[in-house]
Amino acid sequence: MKILITGAAGFIGHKMVKVLAAEGAEIIGIDNINDYYSPALKEARLRDLAPLPRFRFVKMDLADREAIARLFAEEHFTHVLNLGGQAGVRYSIENPYTYIESNIVGFLNILEGCRHGGRPRLVYASSSSVYGMDPHVPFSESDRTDAPVSLYAATKKSSEEMAYAYSKLFGIQTVGLRFFTVYGPWGRPDMAPMKFMKAIMEGRTIDVYNNGDMLRDFTYIDDIAEGVRRVLHATDDRAVPYKIYNIGNSEPVRLLDFIRAIEDVTGCKARMRMLPMQAGDVVRTYADTSLLEHDFSYKPSTPIREGLERLYEWIRGYGAI
C-alpha cells in the first residue's frame, strides 16, 4: 500500500499515520499547518511521527490545485485517506470562505487527483454535523441530511455528494465516514474534551452552552482509528462504488455528566458559566453503527471513563503544548 493522508498533522491524521505505518504501509502526509488552533501542537505531532521509516511529510494546502495534481502524478497512490479540511462549527460563521476553499475546492482537487492518478481507493472524513437537528435518533446513514444548520455541515454534505458523482462517473471507490465527537490523546484543543479538561485542571471557568443540556456521542480516538483502518483496507465492486458509514460510540452522554466525569478523573472541581445555545450547534449526536457492524464486524466500545483517564494521563505529560 502507498497511502496519501491529508491532514497528517491533525488529530485523526496523526493517529492514522501511526496505525498504518505499523502495518508497513508507505505513507506520504500533507498538511498546511494553519493556525485554526495552535500550530505548536501540530508540529509536536509531526515530531512524534518523524522516526517512522516509511513516512514522509510534505507541507501542502489542499486548495493548491497544481501542487495536488503534481503530487498524484508523481506518487501513484493505491489509497487516499482525506482527513484534511477546515473543522469547527462556530468558526464557519465568522470565516466562511476558509471552508469553501478547503472543504469544497480542496476536496475537488483530491477527487480530480484520484480521477487522473490511477483511481486509488478514497476514504474521506465527513461529520455527524450533516444530520443537523434531525429529531430521529440514533442517526442512521439512511436519514435525510438536507437541512444543515452550519456552513461546516453544508460543506461536509457537499463532499459526500461530490464523492458520489465521481464514483458514478469514473468508478472511483469512495467511502465517507461520519465521525462523532472524537476525543483522546493528541486531541484538538478547540473541542470540549480537551478544552474542558485542561481548564478544569487549571481552575479556569468553562463556558457551557445550552445550560449543559446537550448530548454528545463521544468516541475515543483508538476506536475511530480501528474503524478507519478496516474501511481503508476493504474493496468495493458495486456498479457505483460509494458508501457512507457512521463511526460513533452509540452511547451519547449529557454534557453535564461528561463534565462530572472529568471532575472524577482529575480530582478537580469545574467552574462553569452557563450560556444559551450557540448558532450552528446541535442539541444531540447519536450514531447508529449497525451498518459498520454489519459490513466490518466492528463497533466502537471504549467507555467514556476509560477514554478520559487516558486523555488525562496524556495532558499531564504534554499539557504545555
How far from 175 is each of 8, 28, 79, 123, CA to CA, in Å?
18, 20, 11, 5
How far from 55 is each of 83, 120, 137, 278, 311, CA to CA, in Å?
16, 18, 40, 40, 26
Strand, coil or helix: 26? strand
Interaxial angle between packed helices 255-266 and 192-202, expressed in degrees from 0 to 180 and rounded to the nearest 10: 50
| Cβ-count burial 165-178 (b if 16+ within 10 Å, e if not) | ebbeeeebbbbbbb
CB distance 123 to 232 below 8 Å: yes
Of these residues, 37, 99, 131, 152, which one is catalytic?
Answer: 152
CB distance 42 to 83 below 8 Å: no
CA R_g for the chain: 19
CB distance 242 to 162 below 8 Å: no
Q: Cell numbers of 242, please?
A: 460509494
CB distance 121 to 232 below 8 Å: yes
* Catalytic residue flag (residue 124): no
| Active-site annotation, residues | 152
